[in-house]
Structure 1
């Protein structure tokens, strides 16, 4: 006989008020915001798409996804391809090292405007890297599954 799974609090976006507040604060930046279906691997999550038009960057759609497995960790995607070493294998932006302390990465209490700032800064770094081959900013090597340094997927 299987025992029932332990009760877990629902993700922050499970109720409409936090979702609507996140969208409203993001829209306050003057960008059109659209709720979209999360990618299959983040099924059951919450996702919004923003049309980013930033000087010195090509116009692109930025999609922010909060998955059910990690509801406080944003996964950010763009519709433009990039050969940047600061993308995960699924194409998500690698904006910080996941194990960094809260003051070195985005946390929910920072709000969507701060998250958008991280995204834009990352996209500007990618643009610089594409033109110069140099990454402006801090980098931390990820550990591969075998536990060795994998310099092909570094964190920004």
Structure 2
């Protein structure tokens, strides 16, 4: 006899109203936002593409992806230059240490505008690093 897996609450983005609200709150930041298909490894998730225009950084599209396996953790990808000491092997931005306390990383209760702030700050740090070789701000140790 096989056991059925325990019931788990659906991801927050399983409800259309929650997805639409997140998208509209992100668009309220003055950026162009559209819903996209999540990458294959995040199949069944929720993804948005945001066209970012940040002074001193080239204009680029950022993909914000929420995966069913970890619905509270955003995976963020940028289509601009990817040389950075703070990117994962799949080119996702490494914006904070995953085990940092909530006040040091983004949580959904912070809202989409705060997430966009983390993304912009990270992209500015990457640009500074490319120009100077120095990473401004705190760093956590990285594996390969």
Q: Same fold (TM over 0.5)?
A: yes
Deviation at 1:94, TM superposition (A): 0.1
Deviation at 1:81, TM superposition (A): 3.0
* Counterpart in the other structure of 1:11: 11
C-alpha distance in structure 1 between counterparts of 2:100 and 2:132, whole Å = 27
Report matched runs for 1:83-102 at 5 Å.
83-102=83-102
Runs of 4+ in 1 over 6 A off after TM superposition: none
Unaligned stretches of 5+ in structure 1? 143-149
* Counterpart in the other structure of 1:120: 120
C-alpha distance in structure 2 between counterparts of 1:81 and 1:109, whole Å = 30
Deviation at 1:80, TM superposition (A): 1.5
* Counterpart in the other structure of 1:70: 70
C-alpha distance in structure 2 between counterparts of 1:52 and 1:70, whole Å = 25
C-alpha distance in structure 1 between counterparts of 2:138 and 2:30, whole Å = 29
C-alpha distance in structure 2 between counterparts of 1:136 and 1:31, whole Å = 25
| Alignment RMSD (CA, Å) | 0.8
Report matched runs for 1:142-153 at 5 Å.
142=142, 150=143
C-alpha distance in structure 2 between counterparts of 1:37 and 1:82, whole Å = 21
C-alpha distance in structure 2 between counterparts of 1:31 and 1:54, whole Å = 10
* Counterpart in the other structure of 2:27: 27
* Counterpart in the other structure of 2:57: 57
Deviations 1:16-75 (A, max 9, x none): 111111000000011111000000000000000000011100000000000010000000
Unaligned stretches of 5+ in structure 2? none
- The count of aligned residue pairs is 144
* Counterpart in the other structure of 2:129: 129
Deviation at 1:2, TM superposition (A): 1.1
In the superposition, the TM-score normalised over structure 1's length comes to 0.90
